[in-house]
Amino acid sequence: MINRNGREAFRTLMNTRPVNFRRILALFILATVLCGLGLSFAGSESNGGGDHFFAGKTGERHLRRGDLAPTGTLTPIAAPTPTPFSHPLLFSPVAAEANVSIGIDEACVQILDGPCTNMWTYGGTYPGITIRRPTGQTTNVTFTNNLDPAAGELTVHNHGNHSSAANDGQPDDLLIPTGGSRTYIYDGLERGGNQQGKMQFYHDHRMDVTGRNVWMGLTGMYIVDDPADPPTLPSGTFDLPLAVADRQFDANNQIPYVFDPNGVTGDKILVNGVYEPYLEVGDRKYRLRILDASNARTYFLTLSTGDSFIQIGTESGLLPAPVVRTGMRMGPAERLDVVVDFAGKLGQNVYLTDLLTGMPLLEFRVTQHLVDDSSIPPTLRPLPDIGEPTVTRNWSFDKTAGHWTINGLRFDPNRVDARPVIGTTEKWVFTNPTGQAHTVHIHDVSQQCISRNGGACYPYETMKETWYLDPGETLELKLKFTDHTGMYMLHCHIVEHEDDGMMTQFEVVRPTSPRPRPTPLPRPTPRP
Ligand SMILES: [Cu+2]
């Protein structure tokens, strides 16, 4: 019998194009997992990932990241076939200070064997510098646009952050010109208290070219640490941010961007900018904060052992209680905060695998025995009470006259499609009459799920800010507008859908009060 999780997986497989041998294989593997039989890629004996799994030859890889190099100096030689799991997983440098300066720089990043890849980066690495800050404290991040003038003006959105409108990364306003800088101020507050602990990420949001800018590398992670979260969860070196993103490389290991309104994908899936990395771990619990940093690709993550993930959080912080999941779908911009336990796996290799492509993405080598002092409490964090909605708005994620639209309209920075009042709660209803899935992201405040297709929401989607919307689905959410007035975006996070027009804006406004009557002027005293 297939559970709800399984139905979600099958829908995703059938809705993701094109259908090919790998997908049929993935369907088979999924059925195996769901039947509870499990499957194993342990060691290097069985091949669950297709022919590329064993291809290639061993080779050394330079670990230098972000060595600056001008474009166009590469020797045109064919890149060697990458050797699977021959390079260690990397983690971007972490900035933890209140004042952070990040240069938006072109850099040649060593990703595959052979020539490095010219990318646009936040601080010279891909993904960019990870910002990690305690909640409730103000953080000033100054970005300087050092890219070639052809890249144009830029804007940075701190995705998941409750920013004031001026600091939210407006797509066509408050931009960072070539050679110029802009400081974004994040106060770490929400609903009059500290912002909830979670993993956000920052990325470019420039109108019409977000897809190009993100593809070229403008993505970084941003972790908000919250002392109110349970201290027993795996932390420190056992707390791993993982950005999963695909790229298409040419023969010179470059990633030219060719816009496709249906979404740009590549055949190489990177984790933290490394293709098929390995990580040596101990036989204990680890917290994985997984981000789908792809432009358009959806994943369905499993463990090669058939073991479960224990999901503890979403984009919007910890769930009310942990949810055990054998497989997890993740669309562009979604995050999965999970705990994986390698106890009893000493000496084995465990793979984080994408069932939709059949590809193993990351090899965990369980090489050390470690005492595990971490634990997952049975309850994590209660849902905040955001009241009952007083206004309902409907948003149809559609295709109109050959373009991706919302309620039949493409993005227009001069049009505002909703003016919710600050302090009020609204119900927003999303529908998807198209044949493709969308991952819908609302800026400003997190949202709570009311219903999916008229029934219960998935147990792991109580509060989020990026929502997977399958073809034909209806999703009801509620959200309360707090703290800030001003302009915010609502859009599909398949960034080519967004660039093609599937974005709109809403303006949070103050309540309108009746105009005060002008005080009548004193009548002039008639002259005697
Ligand atoms: Cu979309």
Model confidence at 516, in pLDDT bands (50, 70, 90)?
Answer: low
Stretch among 19-33, 290-304, 362-376, 434-448 having the lowest mean pLDDT: 19-33
- Cα–ligand 1 centroid distance for 264 (angstroms): 12
- Rounded Cα–Cα distance for residues 3 and 9 (Å): 10
pLDDT at residue 403 in the model: 98
| Mean pLDDT within 341-365 | 98
Q: Is 317 exposed, middle or buried (0-12, 13-18, 19+ CB in 10 A)?
A: buried
- Cα–ligand 1 centroid distance for 409 (angstroms): 14
Residue with tokens 């938006």: 104
pLDDT at residue 527 in the model: 52
- Cα–ligand 1 centroid distance for 263 (angstroms): 8
3-state helix, strand and coil shares in percent for the chain, rounded to the nearest 5: 10, 40, 50
In the predicted structure, residue 219 carries a pLDDT above the cut 60: yes
pLDDT at residue 471 in the model: 98
φ, ψ (nearest 5 deg) of residue 201: -150, 155
Stretch among 54-68, 139-153, 241-255, 424-438 having the lowest mean pLDDT: 54-68
Task: Please provide the distance, in angstroms rounded to a whole number, between the alpha carbons at the two ends of the chain.
Answer: 101
pLDDT at residue 190 in the model: 93
228-287: pLDDT as tens digits: 999 999 999 999 999 999 999 999 999 999 999 999 999 999 999 999 999 999 999 999
pLDDT at residue 66 in the model: 29
- Rounded Cα–Cα distance for residues 26 and 16 (Å): 12
In the predicted structure, residue 65 carries a pLDDT above the cut 70: no
DSSP state of 419: -
In the predicted structure, residue 515 carries a pLDDT above the cut 90: no
- Cα–ligand 1 centroid distance for 169 (angstroms): 20
pLDDT at residue 192 in the model: 85
- Cα–ligand 1 centroid distance for 296 (angstroms): 8
- Cα–ligand 1 centroid distance for 424 (angstroms): 28
- Cα–ligand 1 centroid distance for 398 (angstroms): 9
- Cα–ligand 1 centroid distance for 272 (angstroms): 24
pLDDT at residue 523 in the model: 59
- Cα–ligand 1 centroid distance for 371 (angstroms): 45
Share the mean pLDDT of the chain.
Answer: 87
- Cα–ligand 1 centroid distance for 319 (angstroms): 26
94-141: pLDDT as tens digits: 999 999 999 999 999 999 999 999 999 999 999 999 999 999 999 999
- Rounded Cα–Cα distance for residues 37 and 70 (Å): 52
Choice between 261 and 73, residue whose per-residue pLDDT is larger:
261
SS3 501: coil
| Mean pLDDT within 53-59 | 24
Stretch among 190-194, 224-228, 230-234, 372-376 having the lowest mean pLDDT: 190-194
pLDDT at residue 366 in the model: 98
- Cα–ligand 1 centroid distance for 303 (angstroms): 28
Q: Dihedral, CA atoms, 489, 492, 496, 500, nearest 10 degrees?
A: -70
- Cα–ligand 1 centroid distance for 68 (angstroms): 34
- Cα–ligand 1 centroid distance for 490 (angstroms): 11
18's tokens: 């094109």
pLDDT at residue 347 in the model: 98
Q: What percent of the chain has pLDDT over 70?
A: 82
3-50: pLDDT as tens digits: 444 445 445 444 443 334 444 444 444 444 443 333 332 222 222 222
- Cα–ligand 1 centroid distance for 292 (angstroms): 15
* Other C-beta atoms lying within 10 Å of the C-beta of residue 72: 6
Choice between 1 and 199, residue whose per-residue pLDDT is larger:
199
- Cα–ligand 1 centroid distance for 96 (angstroms): 34
Residue with tokens 């349970």: 230
- Cα–ligand 1 centroid distance for 404 (angstroms): 7
- Cα–ligand 1 centroid distance for 332 (angstroms): 10
- Report yes or no: 243 and 127 within 8 Å, Cβ to Cβ: yes
Which amino acid is it at 28? F
- Cα–ligand 1 centroid distance for 429 (angstroms): 16
- Cα–ligand 1 centroid distance for 65 (angstroms): 32
Fold topology of 391-508: Immunoglobulin-like (2.60.40)
In the predicted structure, residue 55 carries a pLDDT above the cut 50: no
| Vertex 9: Cα angle to 7 and 14 (nearest 5) | 95
- Cα–ligand 1 centroid distance for 416 (angstroms): 20
- Cα–ligand 1 centroid distance for 261 (angstroms): 9
Model confidence at 224, in pLDDT bands (50, 70, 90)?
Answer: very high
pTM here is 0.85
Q: What residue spans in the chain does CATH classification 2.60.40.420 cover? A: 21-225, 391-508
pLDDT at residue 512 in the model: 86
| Mean pLDDT within 153-168 | 98
- Cα–ligand 1 centroid distance for 442 (angstroms): 13
- Cα–ligand 1 centroid distance for 497 (angstroms): 5
- Cα–ligand 1 centroid distance for 139 (angstroms): 32
- Cα–ligand 1 centroid distance for 395 (angstroms): 13
- Cα–ligand 1 centroid distance for 396 (angstroms): 11
pLDDT at residue 524 in the model: 56
Give the closest residue to 221 by CA, choosing from 170, 292, 275, 269: 292
Give Dmax (Cα) for the chain: 114
Pick the CATH number of 21-225 from 2.60.120.10, 2.60.40.420, 3.20.20.80, 1.20.140.10: 2.60.40.420
Contacts of 447 (CB under 8 A, 6+ apart): 428, 463, 464, 465, 467, 477, 478, 479
Residue with tokens 């979600």: 8
- Rounded Cα–Cα distance for residues 409 and 453 (Å): 24
457-511: pLDDT as tens digits: 999 999 999 999 999 999 999 999 999 999 999 999 999 999 999 999 999 999 9
- Cα–ligand 1 centroid distance for 33 (angstroms): 29
- Cα–ligand 1 centroid distance for 149 (angstroms): 29
In the predicted structure, residue 356 carries a pLDDT above the cut 90: yes
- Cα–ligand 1 centroid distance for 16 (angstroms): 13
